[in-house]
Amino acid sequence: MPAAPRRLYPERVASPVVRVRGVVKSYGRGRGAVRVLDGVDLDVESGELVAIVGRSGSGKSTLLHLLGGLDYADEGTIAVAGERLELLDERGRTALRRRAIGFVFQSFHLLPELSGLENVLLPARLARTGTGAPARARALIDELGLGDTAARLPATLSGGEQQRLAVARALVNEPALILADEPTGNLDEESGAAVLQLLRVVADRGRAVVLVTHDPAAGDVADRTLTVRAGRLHA
């Protein structure tokens, strides 16, 4: 895939894909409680790649999990693709994830029993998105240069190949928002750079991407880099 030119401003800014206001999240109870997020505000537009950095334990991944509806905020509001997460029950969140959110994890989390193609197809099968999914998955795999890996099990693939398959899996349902949690954390420098570039292209094609990372190179591909400090986001 050729590298796309970096764009500083998204083309479409009509309504943010992600809108976060005053989000608070604590772990533990009583005196031992730790307030990891303390009034976070964030907007992410379509076509925008936002990198979130910070020290370990600062709350970056927690914010990402809250955006994906994988966890529940104590206070504040989160809207994704126009849906208020705090108003959705688990069934509604599941439906939203199928439709609008794609995940990329640090440890790839490909299912070891499924081939590369089957892993990529999995969200489409869950969402029952019809007969177009296999062709879409195949096209994604080919576009990412993973044609040889489609029939193989994840255990036989390199980390870079696995992470690119994970990106393809996140894209197969054509979601509005991609959430990437340390996607380069388990990769070498070259593979990590390729994955970051891939996410850049994804954003350039109109998707909102939120990237949580320690990788300094992320700043080169991100439209904005925000730092989590003392439970809040700082530019």
- Considering only residues 46, 58, 162, 173, which one is a binding residue for another protein as defined by CB under 8 A? 173
> With contact defined as beta carbons under 8 Å apart, do 126 and 102 qualify?
no
Query: What residues contact 211, with CB distance under 8 A and at least 6 apart?
Result: 49, 50, 51, 52, 180, 183, 196, 199, 218, 222
Question: Closest Cα partner for 36 from 234, 228, 231, 232?
Answer: 231
Q: What is the dihedral of CA 4, 106, 108, 180, to 10 degrees?
A: -50
Q: Is 126 in the site for another protein (CB under 8 A)?
A: yes
Quote the CA–CA distance of 181 and 143 in Å, as a whole number: 22
- In whole angstroms, the minimum distance from the beta carbon of 215 to another protein comes to 18
The tokens describing 75, both together, are: 């206070």
Quote the CA–CA distance of 26 and 108 in Å, as a whole number: 27
What distances in angstroms separate CA 85 from CA 7, 94, 109, one per listed residue? 30, 11, 24
Q: Is 29 in the site for another protein (CB under 8 A)?
A: no
When the beta carbons of 89 and 190 are compared against another protein, the nearer one is 89
- Which segment (42-50, 113-121, 210-218, 221-229) binds another protein by CB under 8 A? 113-121
Site residues for another protein, 135-164, by CB under 8 A, read: 153, 155
- In whole angstroms, the minimum distance from the beta carbon of 216 to another protein comes to 23
When the beta carbons of 21 and 99 are compared against another protein, the nearer one is 99
- Which segment (11-19, 25-33, 169-177, 201-209) binds another protein by CB under 8 A? 169-177
Query: Interface with another protein by CB under 8 A: which residues?
Result: 61, 65, 68, 70-72, 90-91, 94-95, 97-99, 102-103, 105, 107, 109, 111-115, 122-123, 125-127, 153, 155, 169-170, 173
